[in-house]
């Protein structure tokens, strides 16, 4: 026995079992609700205003999250950034582009109006 008495498994590609990547969960469907106007609970004036999609962003209004968004966050169907985007009505890409000082202030405002995010 050239292999020292050990059994050698066939490692050819045809005999290897490859586990398929799990399908990603579809994005949650939220009810299409239009709220009557209510003023923001917190308005964050940005230290570093910027243009996004041709619009000047100088202030970000923060409102409490919807219950279904909180449930989606805690069940890991949306990210924390997606939850904050829902609370501010600002695109995730624009929130991600905030300078550090502004992002800390917006995040603090979101945390003040959110359940414990851990």
Is-contact 57 51, C-beta < 8 A?
yes
Tell me the pTM.
0.68
Angle between helices 80-88 and 100-113 (to 10 degrees): 80
- pLDDT digit string (tens) for 49-87? 999 999 999 999 999 998 888 999 999 999 999 999 999
Determine the pLDDT at residue 104.
97
Polymer length of the chain: 118
Tokens of 3: 């292999």
List of residues 6+ apart from 99 with CB closer than 8 A: 47, 48
Determine the pLDDT at residue 27.
59
- pLDDT digit string (tens) for 1-48? 455 555 444 444 444 455 555 565 555 666 676 667 677 799 999 999
Determine the pLDDT at residue 31.
65
């Amino acid at each position: 026995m050239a292999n020292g008495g050990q059994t050698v498994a066939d490692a050819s590609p045809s005999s290897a079992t490859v586990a398929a990547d799990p399908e990603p969960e579809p994005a949650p469907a939220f009810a299409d609700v239009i709220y009557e106007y209510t003023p923001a609970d917190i308005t964050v004036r940005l230290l570093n205003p910027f243009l996004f999609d041709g619009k000047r962003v100088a202030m970000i209004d923060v409102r409490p999250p919807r219950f279904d968004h909180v449930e989606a966050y805690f069940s890991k169907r949306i990210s924390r950034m997606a939850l904050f985007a829902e609370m501010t009505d600002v695109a995730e890409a624009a929130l991600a582009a905030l300078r550090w000082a502004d992002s800390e202030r917006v995040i603090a405002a979101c945390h003040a109006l959110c359940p414990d995010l851990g």
